[in-house]
Amino acid sequence: MLYSKIEGEGKPFLILHGFLGMSDNWKTLGLEFSKLPYQVHMLDLRNHGRSLQSPVFNYQVLAQDVIEYCAENKLENIILLGHSMGGKVAMEIACTHPNLVEKLIVADIGPKFYPQHHQSILQGLLSVDFSLKPSRSDVDEQVSKYVTDFGTRQFLLKSLYWEKPGQLNYRFNINYLNNNIDEIGKELSENMIFEKKTLFLRGENSNYILNDDVANIQKHFPNMILQTVSSAGHWLHAENPKEFYNYVNDFLNN
């Protein structure tokens, strides 16, 4: 079963985080969306956060986990928002279960194939030897040898937790994720189409959704619009949350 944080009352609004993220990444915006009002469900996907861990990891099982979560919680006509990997999961759900999803929001990812580009991050995370009982600063220092960007390390190390007194670990299952890394970049199946209203958001400084990608997005999501969040990269919801929120709010109200 998937772990979730639920805020507010109203129409169900599910938020799916990206690769190596968790529900906590969406706490601030989730609280804001819950005031609109929606019942916001911020989920930890399989092998992330506090959710189930499994060596089976692909977009089909990730989508099925969320579909089962909706069934268990009797959620219908949902608003579905996914960022990056979570956006791919959201697309899979919307295309295979269109009656479940009322509106779809996809943040900085397209349906196309993406080449593997997380090698240095994975190497850094895997290089930490937790049997030596490192401190948080020790982990940061070790990962910094592979991941020089401070902001990226801060994001990754949010998943550090005290497994028991004196023993840190990651909340994500780094071994299962590394073993299945080729699944992350896979494209949406050619025949998948979702005809309801869909908002794609991209970061102005991100290269995940290019102008050349729009025709392919429209093939899968003919009722789509694309908005660009200014002064933001791939983590657009964290880098410019106000503009991100405004685009989503406008889309939901129209």
Task: Return the active site residues.
Answer: 84, 234
Is residue 12 reached through a cis peptide bond, with omega within 30 degrees of 0 on the bond before it?
A: no
* CA distance between the termini of the chain: 34
Q: Which residues contact 153 (CB under 8 A, 6 or more apart)?
A: 140, 143, 144, 147
Residue 82's H or E segment, with its range, is strand 78-83
What is the distance between the alpha carbons of residues 184 and 116, in angstroms, rounded to a whole number? 8
What is the distance between the alpha carbons of residues 221 and 215, in angstroms, rounded to a whole number? 10
What is the distance between the alpha carbons of residues 228 and 205, in angstroms, rounded to a whole number? 9
Q: Which residues contact 74 (CB under 8 A, 6 or more apart)?
A: none
CB atoms within 10 A of CB 134: 17
Q: Token pair for residue 2? A: 């998937």
> Biggest alpha carbon distance in the chain?
54
DSSP secondary-structure letter at 36?
S
How many residues in the chain?
Answer: 254
